[in-house]
Amino acid sequence: MSNAAVLNVEGLKVSFLTETGRVTAVEEVGFSVARGETLVILGESGSGKSVSASVVMDILECPPGTVDSGRVTLDGTDLLGMEPKTRRGINGARIAMIFQDPLSSLNPVYSIGTQIAEVVNVHQGGDGRVRAIELLGRVGIPDPETRFGQYPHQFSGGQRQRIMIAMALAMKPDVLIADEPTTALDVTVQRQILDLLRELQDETGMAIVLITHDLAVAARMADRVVVMKDGRIVESGDLPTVASAPKHPYTRALLGAIPRLEQARQAALSGVEAKVLLRVEGLSKDYDLPGAPFRAGRTVAALRDISFSLDAGTTLGVVGESGSGKSTLARVLMGLDQPSGGTVQYDGIELFDMSPRDRRRFHREVQMVFQDPFGSLNPRMTIEDILCEPLAIQKDILPRRAWRDRAAELLELVGLQTGHLARRPGQFSGGQRQRIAVARALASQPRLIICDEAVSALDVQIQAQIIELLAGLRQSLGLSYIFITHDLPVVRSLADQIIVMNQGRIVEAGETGGLFASPAHPYTRELLAASGLPDWMAEVVRQL
């Protein structure tokens, strides 16, 4: 690895014009990364990590954002003062970026293969199809020749993120900026992607700037680490040194949040007789293959013979890799998709035979936190309107005069300020948007919340806060949860029972402690082996 910095950022200051005046988002930020080196930028949502990366990529929205001062150089060449035409030749070719949100970054009207090939065509010329198919295979997309012609909506969240990684790597860039590149991925695919990035780095000598809130990812990848808070760098150095002897209180708090996620789950409600709230028997869901009538009668089984029950006041964890059927299961349980077979009973009533009155009660008592906060929040609505919408639909929850106070209370519950009520989703980071989505789910005072990767976009401290919030609400309100995740330490801390899904089927189910202590199925053992911190990092955390 060369010691010469290929990318250098000095004295960066960025501010945004808001309704209340100009706000500084990044202050005196500086870092560098050499060829073959991986620099990890750690910090909570809103700390300025993604804003700094946006300046490097020249995609800062101006206005309202402004680069007030600072310098960004690539091999000594100033990027901030470069002509736009020259800069366009660099972005995608010499500097590439993997964005946090794959769905909003992929064009829904073009096939994914066309979008990857376009990068090659623009910067290199010729037909990029062969290179695109090769990259799809390398990032783990099955049958890449066929899936080349499919569209973003035909892939799971994790698969879309893999497609974004393939697109960023198309030109073998000198610098790869990866903004939460594995957030949507299950642990086994996450490990494959990180190994792939390391392998490509070894082949090409590219520098990687990895932005993450996941300390396990940082521990596996970092040569050096930069810790950011409130727009400033508060600590930097090699990760073993920073982790074993953190100097800043925020770094110590960041590391101290990890054991809280791996603590044993809270006990089930005591003194309450178990009552089955949700019962699922023999549930199946088939999807017709696109291209009918030419493929008439051909289907894909997303769910096959799923059976389980959920007692009131308990939590069921659903674990499995992307494409295993977890999100399809959630959609069927919410009544958004009609099953191909089987039954779903809520509080003793068949879900798909409910009367209008029972259906209305169901939609009040069962809420969902979706995986993608970018797509689940209306960008035109204020946060106050978003949080008050369930109250407007279910008019008997609270009188209108109390709506704003309830919205403010919900924001405080999820760690946001009441002053954010007048803002819109586009003014928040990914993690902050997910907190807003959690707050919205709580607005109608539900009995059951289905969480589809509800904390996957959050930094470790906010993850711990949200998990503690959900557990506390379960105790105080008797809430039940179905918690869908690829993060086993998180599900271990919250769930009473766990089901493990693979290829649309349940391959293992059981009480949380027993399943973690003695997994029976090889796939469960593989998931456990791929999750968690490296041994050296886990030992450091235990000693804090």
Task: Give residue-wise pLDDT tens across range 110-169.
Answer: 999 999 998 888 877 777 888 899 889 888 888 999 999 999 988 876 788 788 888 888
Q: Which two tokens stand for residue 236?
A: 């930097």
Check pLDDT > 90 for residue 297: no
Check pLDDT > 60 for residue 254: yes
526 in helix, strand or coil? helix
In a domain, 349, yes or no: yes
**Are 224 and 283 contained in the same domain?**
no
**pLDDT score recorded for residue 268:** 45
Task: Give residue-wise pLDDT tens across range 333-343.
Answer: 999 899 999 99
**Are 237 and 369 contained in the same domain?**
no
**pLDDT score recorded for residue 153:** 87
Q: Across-strand partners of 284?
A: 341
Residue range 537-544: mean pLDDT, rounded: 54
- Give the rounded distance of the alpha carbon of 183 from its chain centre: 4
**pLDDT score recorded for residue 282:** 95
In a domain, 348, yes or no: yes
> What percent of the chain is modeled with pLDDT above 90?
37
**pLDDT score recorded for residue 534:** 62
**pLDDT score recorded for residue 293:** 53
**pLDDT score recorded for residue 140:** 80
**Are 234 and 282 contained in the same domain?**
no
In a domain, 129, yes or no: no
Q: Which two tokens stand for residue 55?
A: 């300046």
- Residue 316: CA count within 13 A, CB half-sphere: 24
In a domain, 492, yes or no: yes
Peptide bond between residue 64 and the one before it cis (omega within 30 degrees of 0): yes
**Are 284 and 233 contained in the same domain?**
no
**Are 216 and 303 contained in the same domain?**
no
| Per-residue DSSP letter, 247 | -
**pLDDT score recorded for residue 1:** 47
**Are 358 and 436 contained in the same domain?**
yes
- Collect all residues with Cβ–Cβ distance below 8 Å to 200 and sequence separation of at least 6: 169, 172, 206
**Are 228 and 333 contained in the same domain?**
no
- Checking DSSP bridges between strand 38-43 and strand 207-212, what pairing results, if any? parallel
CA separation for the pair 125, 118 (Å, rounded):
9
Q: What are phi and psi of 311, to 5 degrees?
A: -80, 150
Give the 3-state DSSP-derived string for 118-181, with helices as H, strands as E and coil as C: HHHHHHHCCCCHHHHHHHHHHCCCCCHHHHCCCCHHHCCHHHHHHHHHHHHCCCCCCEEEEECC
**pLDDT score recorded for residue 290:** 65
**Are 212 and 284 contained in the same domain?**
no
In a domain, 270, yes or no: no
**pLDDT score recorded for residue 169:** 83
CA separation for the pair 449, 368 (Å, rounded):
5
Task: Give residue-wise pLDDT tens across range 98-115.
Answer: 887 777 788 999 999 999
**Are 453 and 493 contained in the same domain?**
yes
Q: Check: CB of residue 30 under 8 Å from CB of residue 10.
A: yes
State how many domains the chain has.
Answer: 2
Check pLDDT > 90 for residue 306: yes
**Are 330 and 210 contained in the same domain?**
no
CA separation for the pair 541, 535 (Å, rounded):
10
**pLDDT score recorded for residue 183:** 67
CA separation for the pair 300, 288 (Å, rounded):
6
In a domain, 149, yes or no: no
CA separation for the pair 386, 215 (Å, rounded):
32
Q: Which two tokens stand for residue 19?
A: 């309704």
Task: Give residue-wise pLDDT tens across range 428-470.
Answer: 876 788 788 888 998 988 999 999 887 776 667 777 777 877 8
In a domain, 450, yes or no: yes
In a domain, 254, yes or no: no
Residue 250 banded pLDDT, cuts 50, 70, 90: confident
Q: Check: CB of residue 512 under 8 Å from CB of residue 495.
A: yes
**Are 515 and 410 contained in the same domain?**
yes
> Regarding predicted confidence, which is higher, 476 or 37?
37
Check pLDDT > 70 for residue 351: yes
CA separation for the pair 97, 210 (Å, rounded):
10
| Per-residue DSSP letter, 91 | B
CA separation for the pair 49, 42 (Å, rounded):
8
Look-up of token digits 């704003």: 404
Q: Residue 15 is part of which domain span?
A: 1-94+177-182+206-247
Residue 264 banded pLDDT, cuts 50, 70, 90: very low
CA separation for the pair 448, 367 (Å, rounded):
6
Q: Check: CB of residue 278 under 8 Å from CB of residue 442.
A: no
Check pLDDT > 70 for residue 260: no
**Are 446 and 318 contained in the same domain?**
yes
> What percent of the chain is modeled with pLDDT above 70?
90
Check pLDDT > 60 for residue 204: yes
The CATH number for 405's domain is: 3.40.50.300
Which sign, positive or negative, has the C-alpha torsion 514, 516, 517, 521? positive
Task: Give residue-wise pLDDT tens across range 353-374.
Answer: 999 999 999 999 999 988 777 7
Concatenated DSSP letters for 31-98?
A: EEEETT-EEEEEE-TTSSHHHHHHHHTT---TTTEEEEEEEEEETTEESTTS-HHHHHHHBTTTEEEE
Burial of 293 (0-12, 13-18, 19+ CB in 10 A): exposed
Q: What are phi and psi of 480, to 5 degrees?
A: -115, 150
